[in-house]
Structure 1
Amino acid sequence: MKIAVDIGHNCAPDTGAVAIGNENVLVMDVGRRVISKLRALGHNVLPVTPTDCSSVSNSLWQRVSSANGWGAELYVSLHENAGGGHGVEVWIGSERSRAIAQNIVNNIAALGFRNRGVKVQGKDGPHLYVLNNTIMPALLVEGAFVDSAEDMRRFNAEDMANAIVQGITGQTISGVSLSTEPSTPATAGGGTTSSTTDESTRRLQEYLNSLVNAGITVDGIYGSATRAAVARFQNIMGLTADGIAGSNTWNAIKAILARPLSRVGSRGYAVRWIQWRVGAAVDGIFGNGTRQKVEVFQGNRGLNPDGIVGNLTWQQMFK
């Protein structure tokens, strides 16, 4: 399953609640474990927590855009609660995610937390951006209250992560690595690319097929075809085209998957990809020449030719 995991907040100015416990710290601890456990169970996981944002709205938009653009089959947003209560609740955007949400809330309640149940946005409370704008089944876990002494005494990140993973998959796993970055051949293989097979390579191959029409087989084998596709992508991004997917290459991929709003004056990896996609000169600077090419691209696809790469234009660029 392709699962987008959103570790809530953790991107200033988008920060969590602080009381007896610190939401940013607690949810990061749980989230890293959830991601590692899901991957160890064979699932394809995309962390969608941004590393930089201009506002809370921008932070939320980046998370949703990454998941939608990647084609996630499930979106899981991880939070801790505050406001004078105690216990666990899970919010859903539609009935499509109720079964998994019910499993998660029951599993966490079994750890001793009060079961506050599954709540439906719009019916039981306000609409939540990440549930309202994702196109796949989505849920938001409020694991415990950071201002409840009872909840904070009971809180254990490993137990919480196991409860969430079991709720999603029906399985549990322990003793996994908590690395924060994907294990890529550039690090796990000592900088080599021969005979490397793992889940991160499969994710890399999927991204390359989507971003540069690489046409490579998604088999988890970092062979010559994958290396050539990586080098091609690196060349577009202005990186050293060595065919090794190191941190700079992954950062470029993440920047594009975030689908930032791009217009005249924008710069960076996403702009370079836009320029390559529309046939403009690739220099990473969104100037008038790029705008004109974007307008032609939009006109050819029945979009408003305003020269701004927003959500609708991004969607067409991935087709």
Structure 2
Amino acid sequence: MVAASLVGPRSVTELGIVVGLRDVGISITRLVAYGGQGTLYEAAAVSTGEKVAVKVLHKVSPSDHRRSASQREKVLREVRMMHRAHVVSPQLFEDDKCFYIVSEFLRGVDLHTLHLHRSFTENEILLMGRQIMQQLAHLHSPNVGIAHRDIKPENIMVKNMRTLELQLIDFGLSECVLESPDGLVCTFPGTLQYKSPELVSATSAVDPLPSDIWAAGCVLYKIVCGGFPFSGARGEELTKHGIIKRSPSMDGAVWKQVSMETRGLIRRLLSKNPRERPSARTAMLLIDQILASRELPPVHGYELVPVLPAIRF
């Protein structure tokens, strides 16, 4: 988290104040990652040495009023979603060239990268699924009302590789359903392979919360067998057709080693009809039932708590 002493009188909650990172006592130490959405740095609070993450987004030309206003709204929305989702809020600063989003520096590796180097037991997959559903249950709760909209292994950090403690990250595409009178959204971003049938075929506004459940089902499917539920399709249009029409294949040697209960859970998460998918809280309870039937030790340390702030893209 960002030390309170860094905030000072020039913390930006309503943009328009020109500041630099040095002015608020933050020193960048190394580049972590870069991409189309910005650059991520590790940094430190000069006064305490505490590590923080700084996402830097270069401003578009202020002479392009439409793009400049759009970028500003996108940055504000991302920070607003993080504020709603987290107990400890990120800090937002700007100068004449960049926006800076400062938050907790999250150590670990993303689930996609970890899965490239190791496989998981069925019980490990269930425990990871439980954590994903816990965090979605918090985001989807009536007092928070956030649809993540970009659930995929790359946006799930493994904070502890021994216990497989997970953290959902990256709220750049998130939306607050409480800000819409009917709880629906009219934009459909995200990665195609994790998009739900209703998003792929959308011609009007949809409820985004069940699509998070679908995407979580795709994640569990992928870490079971290494492929997507509709990986036989080639090309974007065929992939869309598979998502809308085909049932997820659970053939092959890997799936024969997976219990009927876990296969049934993943199938429910991947129900074509969004009304037939369980809520995040119900999915968590279903996983608990499967784990309880195996007489595993009680799950400790995974209370339903707000997700901690972290930036990744």
Q: Higher RCO, 1 or 2 (CA under 8 Å, sep at least 6)?
A: 2
Decide: shared fold, TM above 0.5: no
**TM bracket (short chain):** under 0.3
Task: Give 1 or 2: higher strand fraction.
Answer: 2
Q: What TM-score do the two structures reach when normalised by structure 1? A: 0.26
Q: What TM-score do the two structures reach when normalised by structure 2? A: 0.26
